[in-house]
Amino acid sequence: MAPLKPSFDLESTASPLWNHKPERDERDSAVPIPALKVGNATVLNFCERFQSGFNRVRRYDTFDNGLGFGLKRKATILLHTIVNSGATYTSQETLHPHSPVPHSRLRTRLICHWKRELHSAPFMIRSLRQRSGADINPENRFNPAPELATLEDGVDDSRAQRAKDIRLTELRSSTTMWLCWRLPCPGCPPPPGALLAMIVLSLTSTALVSLPPPFRTFSPPEGGLTHLVIHDKTGDVYVGAVNWIFKLSRNLTQLRGHVTGPVQDNEKCYPPPGVQSCPHDLVLTDNVNKLLLVDYAQNRLLACGSTSQGICQFLRLDDLFKLGEPHHRKEHYLSSVSESGTMSGVLIEGADGHNSKLFIGTPIDGKSEYFPTLSSRKLMANEENADMFSFVYQDEFVSSQLKIPSDTLSKFPAFDIYYIYSFKSEQFVYYLTLQLDTQLTSPDASGEQFFTSKIVRLCVEDPKFYSYVEFPIGCTKDGVEYRLIQDAFLSRPGQQLARTLGISEKEDILFTVFSQGQKNRAKPPKESALCLFTLRRIKEKIKERIQSCYKGEGKLSLPWLLNKELACINSPLQIDDNFCGQDFNQPLGGTSTIEGTPLFVDKDDGMTSVAAYDYRGNTVAFTGTRSGRMKKSACLACHSLLSDPALWSTGDSSPRHGNLAPTMAAQTGH
């Protein structure tokens, strides 16, 4: 059969691959091949080569034709292959439904058209069955001429078993199991970076795969989940919600509940009405959980809400008994902004279990006289200690806090900083923020607003905040800029990804989700990108900027904080990776955007959250969408994201606001 040219443009994103209807073999008219769709097929990157002068991306497509041959015939496989030397041809052939298939074997005709011999790159397809292994006969290899490849029983292969265990693309809503295998790029000389090849086997028989266990869910009585933290040792799940804090088991069975609201309050009351009478009318107000952290050293949970100017409670981990609620001093009020997902904190334990501290970032809603936007607070062992939440350092001139200047708020009344994610890496604390871009936004209140995402860094052992540095951050794909940070997740790379990135498996990487453009912070565009950063690269960019400034080059470039341009001062100081600032050349802003590697772009549903982990050497990423769906993806090598198009809902499928659906779901048995 002559090779068929694909009916879609491999280099263009204008014609979605999901709507592609492959051409049919006229000899097989009895076997209609459906269009690609969720649960029935997938499209994976076949081979990427990162080498100058060679940037074509070849794609490997597989289509599950959905034929049910029963237990004897098992399945029918249709392979579309696009391979080496710039060849963009596809070949296809399936077994006719009336062709004889021995009960003991599954025969699949693989038609492969190559432009060059593949003696140096022989490889085999591996298949897995539910009860026994299967393997292609080693004698049958890919050659320029088509051959019949036979799958034989009784072959046990540890690598294939490992691939099965990964379960990266198992579909809950279908009886199809996709087995992905990384192989050398056929016919390509080995490049400096790793090459990917994917062979995907689709088995449609229910006898060959088992469905995953059902999901368990937890829905609070009033809805509105806002935060979740999992105990490192016990696996207990603590959930922050509107008017509630919950403790759940690892399978989402409710163990305890603690009521936090509603309470009589008014955001104009400062101090809160529980401390001092207030001239404003009090109304019953929901208490939105805004911060939830586990203090392992003191066996307690820190839960901060939106009422009473943002006071916090300490709850015992075992039973959520309230240990204390400091609220008598102004340092006890952290923020009264009720919007969830805009406040973030990092708890740093002291070396002896005492002298812990809390780095906390929060929007202030214009109340700069009341709240710092970023601060470092003391965490005392005794919840009623008068020093609880006081600044780690404070004297007449300097303290462990950063305030938005009143001049900035006078010029830009809507200016605020929203803290989306925070984490500790080595001796630094990092924040990912979203704030008004004062360079692009006109001071005229009627003008259009533009926002920018920043990565902020502080040294853990810098009580005076001399080490404060911030950089614009984002990523770009095909000329489209993604600048509105939605979520992030600190992780470690799997073996394959670490090798490709050229870093150690013990180094930190950062997965991020950005929405397209720089407008509409509250309702960002649906188009979004999953991007990857290495902390090594971020540290290098920050160090280069500090070194440049200490050579007297450029300015501090932090207009929202300094309200004027100050020149950098030349100094003979040696700047290394651990430099934590001086009382000059600070605070410091980056002049260029730190760009991440785009892994996947979603133009339809809008990604809002991300989590990732390493499973047996492979990095697995999960992204949540605006409508409450979740996507599971495998990030293997070559900076390519191999994404499973099957989405499954974490509750009902109705649209939801925010990045956390009001229903939690967990898959048991894993």
pLDDT (0 to 100) of residue 264:
93
As given in the structure block, the two tokens for residue 590 are 């980056």
Given a cut of 80, whether residue 612 has pLDDT beyond it is yes
What one-character-per-residue DSSP string does 5-18 give? PPSS-TT-SSS-GG
Given a cut of 70, whether residue 2 has pLDDT beyond it is no
Superfamily covering domain 417-639: YVTN repeat-like/Quinoprotein amine dehydrogenase (2.130.10.10)
pLDDT (0 to 100) of residue 337:
87
- Mean of all residue pLDDT scores within the chain: 70
Domain ranges in the chain are 17-203, 226-403, 417-639
**Cα–Cα distance, 619 to 607 (Å, whole number):** 19
As given in the structure block, the two tokens for residue 214 are 């059902």
The rounded percent of the chain whose pLDDT value lies above 70 is 62
Given a cut of 50, whether residue 57 has pLDDT beyond it is no
Per-residue pLDDT tens digits for 440-484: 888 876 778 999 999 999 999 999 999 999 999 999 999 999 999
CA distances from 128 to 163, 183, 242, 482 (A): 9, 17, 47, 40
Given a contact cutoff of 8 angstroms between Cβ atoms, the answer to whether 650 and 631 are in contact is no
* Backbone φ and ψ of 163, nearest 5°: -65, -40
**The domain 226-403: what is its CATH number?**
2.130.10.10
Given a cut of 50, whether residue 270 has pLDDT beyond it is yes
Burial class of 650 by CB neighbour count within 10 A (0 to 12, 13 to 18, 19+):
buried
pLDDT (0 to 100) of residue 212:
59
pLDDT (0 to 100) of residue 213:
64
Residues in the chain: 670
**Cα–Cα distance, 361 to 304 (Å, whole number):** 12
pLDDT (0 to 100) of residue 364:
93
**Cα–Cα distance, 51 to 503 (Å, whole number):** 19
**Cα–Cα distance, 238 to 543 (Å, whole number):** 38
Count of Cβ atoms closer than 10 Å to residue 159 Cβ: 9
Lowest mean pLDDT among 95-104, 234-243, 382-391: 95-104
CA distances from 553 to 53, 456, 569, 670 (A): 36, 21, 8, 55
**Cα–Cα distance, 28 to 36 (Å, whole number):** 18
Strands 528-534, 597-602: pairing kind? antiparallel
Of the two residues 524 and 567, the one the predictor is more confident about is 567
> Is this prediction's pTM over 0.85?
no
Q: Where are the alpha helices (DSSP H) in 300-439?
A: 406-411
Start-to-end CA distance of the chain, whole Å, equals 45
What one-character-per-residue DSSP string does 53-118 give? TB-PPEEEEEE------HHHH----EEE---STT---B------TTS---TT-EEEEE----SS--
Given a cut of 70, whether residue 377 has pLDDT beyond it is yes
Strands 133-136, 147-153: pairing kind? antiparallel
pLDDT (0 to 100) of residue 329:
87
Domains 226-403 and 417-639 share a fold: yes
Per-residue pLDDT tens digits for 501-551: 999 999 999 999 999 988 888 788 889 999 999 999 999 999 999 999 999
Q: How far is CA 305 from the centre of its chain?
A: 25
3-state secondary structure string across 205-266: CCCCCCCCCCEEEECCCCCCEEEEEECCCCCCEEEEEECEEEEECCCCCEEEEEECCCEEEC
Per-residue pLDDT tens digits for 198-219: 222 232 333 334 455 667 888 8
Mean pLDDT, rounded, for 492-498: 90
